[in-house]
Structure 1
């Protein structure tokens, strides 16, 4: 598979966050997923996995845009969407931080979204005659590849 224009951001978080972990964001211009959504999904995943914890700061919209070589509007939209979903909070004059919200509730919301998407896929699979065993095999195969 050929991937064109992937930019990776490994921010030295010592200056941005309270700890020395790395914020890892990869964006691809050739992906069918919009850039803001790629950024949003990766930050959300790092929050849900515990890589980013409540109260930790994120790079400014401007710095993130510069590092990823994307528009400020793109990073602003990603941050705004994450704020709407309760993952981030912005404090005027101080920056953007991982929200203090209950992590379990955020995981529950993410699970609901996954279940809804799986339900849609299962309906589509059933409509073309895919058996449960075949579906499980497809799921396992893709799961192991990702």
Structure 2
């Protein structure tokens, strides 16, 4: 599991860890049921505090991305993909809500917003 920490980032270290683990899950590089390094092992590898890794793992567990089994370790949750999809849907909703608000604030027709979405969607294909 490759995680890179940027000490000069505005993002707290524990968030860098959680964000990168979520990205590894979304890209299929971490699969449901797969074991992840112990908190101590990951802390040592990254050169960070065990408490920081614990905070990251606690956050991931709270969000449903990992499960920790006492005396066995931490594993990618069987439901992690559903949680990831839900998280991405919430982010998308938030961005779309902002776009609609901007359109309303500047009297831009919603049809223009639809056209922009179609345009950007076609660029991806």
Please confirm whether the aligned pair reaches a TM-score higher than 0.5, indicating the same fold. yes
Structure of higher RCO (CA pairs closer than 8 Å, 6+ residues apart): 2
Structure-2 change in CA distance of 1:58 and 1:102 (3 Å): closer
Task: State the alpha-carbon separation in 2 of the partners of residues 57 and 95 from structure 1.
Answer: 7
Which structure is higher in strand share? 1
Query: For residue 97 of structure 1, what is the aligned residue in structure 2?
Result: 75
SS at match of 1:24: coil
How far residue 68 of structure 1 moved from its aligned partner, in angstroms, is 0.6
User: Which segment drifts farther, 110-119 or 26-35?
Assistant: 110-119
Computing the radius of gyration from Cα coordinates, the structure with the larger value is 2
Residues 124, 32 of structure 1: alpha-carbon distance in 2 compared, 3 angstrom cutoff:
farther
Tell me the distance in 2 between the aligned counterparts of 1:83 and 1:102.
10
User: Does structure 1 retain, via aligned residues, the 8 Å contact 2:65–2:77?
Assistant: yes
Question: Which stretch has the larger CA shift, 117-126 or 35-44?
Answer: 117-126
Aligned residues: 114
Whichever structure has more helix as a proportion of its residues is 2
With normalisation by structure 2, the TM-score equals: 0.75
Q: What root-mean-square deviation, in Å, do the aligned CA atoms of Structure 1 and Structure 2 show?
A: 2.6
Give the CA deviation at 1:74: 0.7
| Cα separation, partners in 2 of 1:45 and 1:102, compared to 1, 3 Å | closer
What TM-score, normalized by structure 1, do the two folds share? 0.65
**Structure 1 runs of 4+ off > 4 angstroms?**
123-129
Counterpart check, 1:47 vs 2:25: yes
Unaligned runs of 5+ in 2: 121-125
Which residue does 1:113 correspond to in 2?
Answer: 90
